[in-house]
A and B are shown apart, each in its own frame.
Chain A
Amino acid sequence: MDALSTSIIDLRDVVAVYNGYPALAGASLSVEKGEIVLLQGPNGAGKSTLLRLCAGLLPVERGTAFVLGCNVQNERERIRSRVGLLGHNNGLYADLSIADNISFWASMVGALQSEIDAAMSRMGIDGSLASRSVGNLSAGQKRRCALACLIVRRAELWLLDEPHAGLDAKGRDEIDAILREASQLGATIVVASHEVERAQHLATRNVAVVAGRVQERS
C-alpha cells in the first residue's frame, strides 16, 4: 500500500471490465474516513460497478485500488468482511422472516441479541412485523430489513446503491438519519443515488460518474 495514503478508498485510474466492456475506464476517487460521498450519474455511467469494485466483488483490470488499506487486486477477502454493500437487490431470503434474516447475518458476525433488537427497532421492523416472511413484505420494508442486516454486520465502509428506492418520504428521512448516525459513529459511506436534492442534504461531498470516470463536483 502507498504509505502516504490513509484514505478509506483510494482508486487511481482504475479500469474494471465486465464481459469485455470497460464499465470503469480510468476512475480515480479518494474517500476519507467519516465522509458521506454521493455518486451521481446517468444510467450506465459505472456507479454500481464502482461500488462493487470497492466491495471487493470485481477484479481490477488496470490501475490501483486500495480499500481500507487493502489492495483490491489481491486482498479482496480482507476487504469484504469490513465492507457492507446494499445493491439493487436486498440480499434477503424470501422464505425466512425478518427476524430470521437478521439473525442469520448476526450469527455470521457474532452480534448480540441486543444489537439485533436495536437494529430492528431503529428500522421500524420489530414487533409483529418481525415474524412476517420477507416474501410478503413491501419493497420499502424489504429495504429496511436489508439495512438492518447491514447495521448488525458493523461494517466500517457502507456502499449503498439507491438506498432510498421503494421508500416513502418518512422512510427516506429515517434512512438519512441512520446514515448520518453511522457516519458520526465512524463509518464511511458512499451512496449512489438519482435523488440529487435529497442526497445533497445528506452528503459531505458530491462526485459525478460519467462514462466510467469520476468528476468531482462542488
Chain B
Amino acid sequence: MNSTAVRSVGTPSTRLFGLLAIVCMTWVVVGGLFFTPADLNQGESVRIMYVHVPTAWVAYLAFIVTGVASAMFMFGKKHSLGFDRVAGASAEVGLMFMAITLISGSLWGRLTWGTFWEWDPRLTTTAFLFVTYLGYMAVRGLGGSPQQRARRSAVVAMLAVLEIPLVHFSVVMWRSLHQRASVLSTDGDIKMDGLMLTTLFVGVIGFTCTFAWLVSHRQRVMAMRDILLATQLDSALDERIAEGSQS
C-alpha cells in the first residue's frame, strides 16, 4: 500500500460540485426567505417548497442512480465493485434526502392541511419507498465478502427502483390531497411566478450538486475501506501462517 498518508478524498471535480452547491444554496436561502413572493393561497408556507421539492427530486435521482449502478454491476462483464460502491453511497444519500422530504412535507402539511400526516397515496407510498431503502441498507449490512454484498444489494436495488413510478404517479392514479406536478404538468403550462420558479430550479441544481458531492466522497471512503480490509487480510494471513509454524 502507498506509504503516503491520504489526507483528503477531495479532487478538483468534487470541489467544483461543492462550490456550485454552496453558491446555489446561498441563492435558495436568501431568495427563498427574503425575495420570492408569498403564495396566493398558501401564504408564507410556500417557502418550504424550495427545500421539499428539490429534495424529493434528488431522492428519486439517488434511487435511480442506485438502481442503474446496481444493474451495471450485475450485468457488466467485470462486475466492478465500483458500481456497487456508487449504488450504496447513492442510496445512503438518497435516504437522507428522502427523510428531509418527509419532514419538510410534514411541516408543510401542518401549515397547509392542519395535520402533520395524512394517509394520502403520495405520502404513504413515499413512506414505503423510504422503508424500502432502509431495507436495502440493512441488506448491505448483512456481511460477507464485498462481491456477495454487492450481488445481494443489487437485486434489492433493481426491484426497489420500480416503486418510484408508483410514488410519482400516485397523485394521478388515486385521489390525493397532495398537489399534482406543477412544473412537470402534462398541459405544459407552469403556473408559477418567475422568481419562484427560478429559485426552485436553482434549488434543484444546488441540491443535485450537494448530492453529487456527497456521493463522490462517500464512495471514495467506501473504496478506502475495502483497501483497508485487504490490508487487514494480509495481517490475518501472516498470523495464520505463524499459527501453523508453531503447531
Contact = CB atoms under 8 A, between A and B. Distances in A.
Q: Do chains A and B touch in the complex (CB under 8 A)?
A: yes
Contacts of B237: 15, 22, 25-26
B236 A21 contact: yes
B233 to A, nearest CB: 6
Nearest to A74: B79
Interface string A78-122: 000000000000000000000000000000000000000000000
Interface string B223-247: 0000001001100110011011101
Contact of B241 (A17, A61, A211): A211
A41 to B, nearest CB: 10
A212 B233 contact: no
B186 interface: no
Contacts of A59: 145, 147
What is the predominant secondary structure among interface residues of chain B facing chain A? helix
A20 B244 contact: no
B141 interface: no
B12 interface: no
Contacts of B233: 15, 17, 20, 22, 61
Nearest to B242: A211
Contacts of B243: 211
B143 interface: yes
A59 B150 CA distance: 14
Nearest to A23: B240
Contacts of B147: 59
B144 interface: yes
A19 B236 CA distance: 12
Interface in A3-20: 15, 17, 19-20
A213 B241 contact: yes
Interface in A190-218: 210-213
Which 5 pairs of residues, A with B, have the shortest CB-CB distance?
Answer: A211-B244, A25-B240, A211-B243, A210-B244, A22-B237
Interface of A: 15, 17, 19-22, 25-26, 42, 59, 61, 210-213
9 contacts: A17-B145, A19-B144, A20-B229, A20-B232, A22-B240, A25-B240, A211-B240, A211-B241, A213-B244
